[in-house]
Structure 1
Amino acid sequence: MRKRLERHVDWNIARRKAIVTPQWLRDSADSGQLLPCGKYAALGDLYQETAQNCPDDNTLDSSKKGPDSSTESHDEETQSFTHPAPKSDTGIRHDHRYACMRYAPLICPNQGLVEQIAILRRDRELEGLDMQALSYERAISVPFPFPITSDNIHEVSELPHIGKKIHSKIQEYIEHGEISECKSILNDARYQSLVDFTTVYGIGPSTARNLYASGLRTFEDLEKHYDVSPRTNDEIGQTSSPDYLKASPTTGLPQLSIKVGLALREEFSLQIPRSEVEEIHDAVINELKRIRSGCVSTIAGGYRRGKDKSNDIDIVISHKDLKSGGDQVKGLCAELVKRLYDKGLVTHVMHLSSFREHNALRTSHWDSLEKALTVFKLPHKKGQEHVHRRLDLIFAAPEVYWTAVVGWTGSRMFERDLKLWAKQEEEKKFDSSGITRRHDSKLYFPKSEQEVFELLHLEWIDPTLRNADL
C-alpha cells in the first residue's frame, strides 16, 4: 500500500494529511457530520497522522474562502516538499533505529550472545522464514555497546529491534550462558545438511530444501547427484573437454555452475588473508593498466571494514578523468575480464553485466554499474600454491564512484538501512549506482565518500564501524 501511495503522493506530504478510505466520506455524509478519521486510516503506518490531521468544520469553512486564501499555505507546502526540514534525530547513538546511525565495530562486548542469535537467524533463513530471519538480523545489528548482565538486562528492552521474544532469548543467555534452542538447532541433522548445501555456489536455501527433500544429506550425496568425480578438479582449468564447463553466450568464458562450485567448495571455504587480498588487487590493477591508463580503485567489502580475513574480494574501479571517465570505463569490465582469463588469472565468470542508464524508478537492488563476478587464481609461486578465490569487479563512472564505494563497503544490514534512511527520512533513493531525489529524479554526484554521508544528512562513520552484521 505504501509503495502504491508514493506513486501519487510524496510521503512527506502524506504524513501531514489525513489519508482515509472512501468509507469515511460515505459514513460522514450519512451521519451529517465529519467523523473521526482514525479508524478509517488507509495505511496503518499513517494511523496516528491520520487521526491528528482529521479535518473539522473550521477546516472546511476556511477552505471556502477562495483561491487567494490558500496561496500562503500552498507555498509553504511546496517549500517543505522541495527542501525537507533537517531531521532532529541525526546523531550517532547506540540505540538509534537505523544501523547507518550506529557505530558497529567488528567485535562487540557481547559477541557470544550475538553469535547465538546468528544461529537463530540462520535457521529461519534456511527454512524460508524470511521475516523472522530479518527480525533476528536486525537484532544482531544492534551493537549492544555495554556488557549485558543480570543487573542491566532491563536496559536491553529499550534498544531498537529488541522485542519480547528476542529479549527472552537474551535473558536466557544471561542466566544460562547459552540459548537452548541454538543447541537443538546445531544438533539437528536437517540444519547441518542445509548449512552444508548452501556453502556451494549456486545453491540457496530454497534449492537446499529441495535437495534435502529428495533424500540428499551429505556432500557425497551432492557429488553423486551432480556427477562430480575425483578428476573434476583437474578438469576445471580446461575449457574444451568437460561439458559442464559451459561457455557464456555473451563472453565465451567458462561459467561457474553448481557442479564446478561443488568441486571448488573446499577452496572457497578457505578465508582470504589481507595480504592475499592486496596481492590479487595488485595483479588485477597491473593488467588493467596495460589496457587503460588513469584508472583508480578501492578494495571494498569486509577488507575495508577491517576484517583480518575475507570470504571474497570486492574491487570498485573508475577513472580519474571526470569529463571523459564515463566513456573510458564503459565496456572496460568485459575487456579486463577477458584479459585476466587469457592470462590464466580468471578461470570462471559467475555474472557479467554492462552499464544501463540510471533509472530512479527501479526498485530492485541490482544496480546499473558494470560488474563481473568471477573466480580468480593467482599463479603458483615456488613453494606456494594458490587456490581459487571469488573476486567481484565493479566499474563505476567517475560521478558515482564514491556512491559505489559506499554501497560495496558496508555490511548487509548497514546498506539495507542506508537505503531505508534515504527513502523514509530524506525522500531520496540510494544505491551503489547513485543518489536520486525521489520527487523529481534529480541526481547527486558526490566528490568524496564523506560527501555521500553529507548529502544524506548522516554523520560520518568510518568503514571499520560499518559492521552491522556478524
Structure 2
Amino acid sequence: MSLVPQKRSRPSLPVGPTRDGMESTKFPDIGLFLVERKMGSSRRSFLTALARRKGFCVEEAYSERVTHVIAEHNSGAEVMQWLVGQPAKREEGRSPILLHISWFTECMAAGEPVKIEPRHLLEVQMHSDVAVSSLVATYGCLRRTPLTNRNHVFTDALETLAKEAAFCGSEGRSLAFIRAASVLRSLPSTLTTMEELSRMPGFGEHSKRVVQEILEDGSSAEVERVTQEERYQTMKLFTNIFGVGIKTANKWYQEGLRSIGDLRNSQKKLKLTKQQETGLQHYEDLTMPVSHTEADLIAKMVEEVAHRFLPGTIITLAGGFRRGKLSGHDVDILITHPQEGREEGLLSKVISQLQSQGLILYHSLKRNSYYDASSPGGKSTSSMDHFEGSFSIFKLKGLSQSRDNGARVHSTDSGRDWKAVRVDLVVTPISQYPFALLGWTGSKHFERELRRFSSHEKKMVLNSHALYDTVQQTFLAATSEEDIFMHLGLEYIPPSDRNA
C-alpha cells in the first residue's frame, strides 16, 4: 500500500507571492497539520512559519484539507484519540497519514516533501504483545527504554554471555548479545513466546537459543556453566578494580592470581600503577553502590568550590543518575559556564581546593585535546572524548548525618563516617555542552546506537563534542539535546528512556 495519499480535488491555493512575503505554495496536494498537544503553541507557530516559507501549506485547524498530521512526543494512539474528537468530517477512506516530527524536519532540511519511510509513521499499537513486538525499532536509539525491565531474566543471561565474550576478546560477539538484550529491555511486557521474538530485530541464532531455553526450562545451562567457571569469576572480580582492564586481568589470571587477597599479597611484585594501587586499596568501598543522595552530596561539594573561583558555573550530575537510577558505581559530573572560555583553568583550582580539604584520595588530570586533531576545522570527529577532565576518588565525609529515602547512607564500617567514591569531572565549553550532556548521560549502548544511526543513516559523525555533516562538510550547532535530535531527524527521547 502506498504511503503517499492519493491526489484529490482541493480549493485553489495562491500561486504568487503572499502579502507577508512568504513563498508561494509549491506543494498544493499536501496539507500539513501540526498537533499542538505536547508540542506547545510557541514551537508550533515557529514550525508553521518555517514550513510556509518553504512553500508548504499548513492548516491552522484540522479539516478535510489535511493530508499529513505531524505530532511530537505523542503516540499514534494519542493522536488518533484526539482526531476522533475533532468536528471536521472526512470522506470515507480519506484519513490523513500520522507522522512524527522527524519527517517534518527532514522535509524542512530538503526544502521539499521527502519519501515517507516506515520509521516516520506513528503506528497505532493494538493491545497485544504480538502487535507491540512487531513495532520494535532496529536502532537502540529509536526505542524508548525506561528503567523498568520486564525481561530481566533474559537480559541478565544475555549480558552474562556478553561479558564472557568480552573477557575472551570477542567484541563482535559481545556486542551481538548486548543488542539482543537491549531489544528485550525496551519491551513494555514480558516475553512469553518465541513467536514474538521472531518479529524483533537484533537477534542472532545464539541469542535465540538462550531465550528459548529460558522460556522452556526457566534457565540457560550455558549461562549457568559460564557463571560457575573460575576464569569468568576471576575476570569479573579483577575488572571491577579501578584502573584494571581486560588485558591486565587476564595477565594476572594466567599468573595464578584468583582473589583480592592474592593481589594484595603480590602487590610489590605486580608493579601496579598508582591508579590500580589506589583502586585495590579502596576496593571494598568502590564496589559498594553509590546512592543518589551520595551523588548529590558530591555534586554540591564540587559546585560550592567551583562557585568560589567562578560564580555562575553550571554543575550537572550526568550518567545513570540523570537517567533516573537510584544507585550506581560512580559519579559523573559536567562542568561548564555560560560564557565561552571562562571555564578554562577552573578544574585544577577545584581539585587543589578539595585536596587541601582532604577530600581527594586520588586524581588524574587530562587536558583538553579536542583542537589538536587534524580533522576539518582543527576539531576531532572521532568518537573519542577529548575534554579536560579528572578521574578521581573522592573521600565522601559526613555519611552518618546523611539519609537516603529514610535510611542511613551506606558506610563501609562502623568505625568511620566516610567512604571512597569514584568521581569523573568533565569540563566542557558551553558551545559543546549539549553534545557532552548527551554523551555523558548514556546509556553506553544508547550512545553507541545513536552514533551508528548518525553514521549509517544520516552520513553524520556524532561525538560528545559536536555533530559533523560529512555531505555538507559542516559542523551543526546545537543549544540543547533537542536540537541534536532534530538535526538527526529523530523524535526527542528524554534521559529517563535512554536505558538501552
Q: TM-score scaled to structure 1, two decimals?
A: 0.71
Change (3 A) 1:317 1:164: same
1:190-229 aligned at under 5 Å gives the runs: 190-227=231-268
Structure 1 CA distance, aligned partners of 2:113 and 2:264? Answer: 57
Aligned to 2:441, what secondary structure does the other structure show? coil
1:431 partnered with 2:463 = yes
Indicate how the Cα distance of structure 1 residues 174 and 286 shifts in structure 2: closer, same or farther if over 3 A, else same: same
Is 1:161 aligned with 2:202?
Answer: yes
2:188 aligned to which of 114, 135, 145: 145
For 1:158, what is the secondary structure of its paired residue? coil
Q: The residue matched to 1:146 in structure 2 has which SS?
A: coil
Q: Secondary structure at the match of 1:327?
A: coil
Structure 1 residue 107 displacement after superposition: 2.4
Give the corresponding residue for 1:294.
Answer: 312
Helix, strand or coil at the partner of 2:478? coil
Q: Which of 320, 341, 345 does residue 331 from structure 1 map onto?
A: 345
State the Cα distance separating 1:441 from its structure 2 match: 3.7
Aligned-partner Cα distance in 2 for 1:82–1:165: 45
C-alpha spacing 1:352/1:90, structure 2 compared with 1 (3 Å): farther
Match of 2:148 among 97, 102, 107: 107
Is structure 2 residue 479 aligned with structure 1 residue 461? no
CA shift, 1:315, in A, is 1.0
Q: Quick one: structure 1 residues 346 and 92, their matched pair in 2 at CA, closer, same or farther if it must change by over 3 Å?
A: farther
Q: 8 Å contact 1:197–1:208 — kept in the other structure?
A: yes
Corresponding position of 2:359 = 345
Cα separation, 2, equivalents of 1:428 and 1:147: 35
Letter in 1 for 2:196: E
Cα offset, 1:87, TM superposition: 7.1
Greater share of helix residues, 1 or 2?
1
Cα distance in 1 for partners of 2:481, 2:151 equals 30
Q: Which has the higher contact order (CA 8 A, sep 6+)?
A: 1
Within 2, Cα distance between the matches of 1:82 and 1:348? 54
1:405 and 2:419 are equivalent in the alignment: no
The match for 1:176 among 217, 233, 236 is 217
User: How has the CA–CA distance of structure 1 residues 212 and 90 changed in structure 2, closer, same or farther, with 3 Å as cutoff?
Assistant: farther
Can you list the C-alpha shifts for 1:323-347, whole angstroms capped at 9, x where unaligned?
A: xx22201222222222222222222
Aligned match of 2:477: 445
Query: Distance between the aligned counterparts of 2:248 and 2:174, measured in 1?
Result: 18
Kept in 2, the 8 Å contact 1:350–1:373? The answer is yes
Given residue 345 of structure 1, which amino acid in structure 2 is its aligned partner? L
Whole-angstrom distance in 1 between the partners of 2:391 and 2:206 = 39
Deviation of 1:380 (Å): 4.0
Distance in structure 2 (CA, Å) of the matches to 1:153 and 1:138:
17
Contact conserved, 1:128 with 1:206, CA < 8 A, in 2?
no
Give 1:345-364 correspondences, 5 Å limit. Answer: 345-357=359-371, 359=373, 360=375, 362=380, 364=382
Are 2:387 and 1:369 equivalent residues in the alignment? yes
Distance apart, 1:464 and its partner CA: 0.9
1:453 is displaced (CA, Å) by: 1.2
In 2, the alpha carbon distance for the partners of 1:219 and 1:381 equals 26
Per the TM alignment, residue 212 of structure 1 is displaced from its structure 2 partner at its CA by 0.9
Q: Does 1:127 align with 2:168?
A: yes
Residue 295 to residue 147, structure 1, CA distance change in 2 (3 Å):
same
CA distances 1:228-280 after superposition (whole Å, capped 9, x unpaired): 9xxxxxxxxxxxxxx98xxxxxxxxxx84212211111110011111111111
Q: How does 1:302-321 map to 2 (within 5 A)?
A: 302-320=320-338
TM-score (norm 2): 0.67
Q: How far apart are 1:363 and its partner, in Å?
A: 5.7
Structure-2 separation of matches of 1:451 and 1:427: 17
| Residue identity in the other structure for 1:349 | H
CA–CA distance in 1 between the matches of 2:304 and 2:113?
46
1:146 to partner: Cα distance: 2.9
Matched with 1:26 is none
| Kept after mapping to 2: 8 A contact 1:354/1:370 | yes
Aligned match of 1:69: none
Cα distance in 2, alignment partners of residues 92 and 209 from structure 1: 48
| Cα distance in 1, alignment partners of residues 160 and 144 from structure 2 | 23
| Structure 2 match to 1:97 | 138
| Alignment length (residue pairs) | 361
Report 1:22-41 matches (<5 A). Answer: none
Q: Deviation per CA, 1:90-116, whole angstroms, max 9, x where unpaired?
A: 468851111110011112221111111
Q: Partners in 2 of 1:455 and 1:434 — Cα distance?
A: 12
Say if 1:170 and 1:381 are closer, same or farther in 2 by CA, change over 3 A: closer
Assess if the C-alpha contact under 8 Å between 2:381 and 2:461 holds in 1.
no
* Identity over aligned pairs, percent: 28
How much has 1:138 moved relative to structure 2?
A: 0.9
Which residue identity is paired with 1:183?
Answer: E
Q: Which amino acid aligns with 1:375?
A: I
SS of the residue corresponding to residue 388 of structure 1 reads strand
Residues 82, 370 of structure 1: CA spacing in aligned structure 2 closer, same or farther, 3 A cutoff? farther
Q: Secondary structure at the match of 1:270?
A: coil
Contact 1:106–1:307 (8 Å) recurs in 2: yes
Partner residue of 1:388 out of 407, 414, 420? 420
1:160 Cα deviation after fit: 1.1
Q: Deviations over 1:22-57 (max 9, x none)?
A: xxxxxxxxxxxxxxxxxxxxxxxxxxxxxxxxxxxx
Separation of aligned partners in 1, 2:394 and 2:174: 32
Residue segments in structure 2 that go unaligned for 5+ positions in a row: 1-108, 124-134, 402-415
Query: Are the counterparts in 2 of residues 330 and 355 from structure 1 also a CA contact under 8 Å?
Result: no
CA distance in 1, matches of 2:400, 2:244: 35
Matches of 2:343 and 2:458, distance apart in 1 = 31
Runs of 5+ consecutive residues of structure 1 not aligned to the other structure: 1-79, 229-242, 245-254
* Whole-Å separation in 2 of the counterparts to 1:184 and 1:317: 45
Classify 1:450/1:81 alpha carbon distance in 2 versus 1 (closer, same or farther; 3 Å): closer
What CA deviation, in whole Å up to 9, does each residue of 1:349-393 have, x standing for no partner? 134222532855646432232221111112346667121111111
**Mean alpha-carbon deviation: is it higher for 114-123 or for 356-365?**
356-365
Q: Tell me the amino acid that sits aligned with residue 328 of structure 2.
A: S
Q: Contact conserved, 1:334 with 1:352, CA < 8 A, in 2?
A: no
Say which SS state the counterpart of residue 198 (structure 2) adopts: helix
Q: Which moved more, 1:365-374 or 1:393-402?
A: 365-374
Secondary structure at the aligned position of 1:159 is classed as: coil
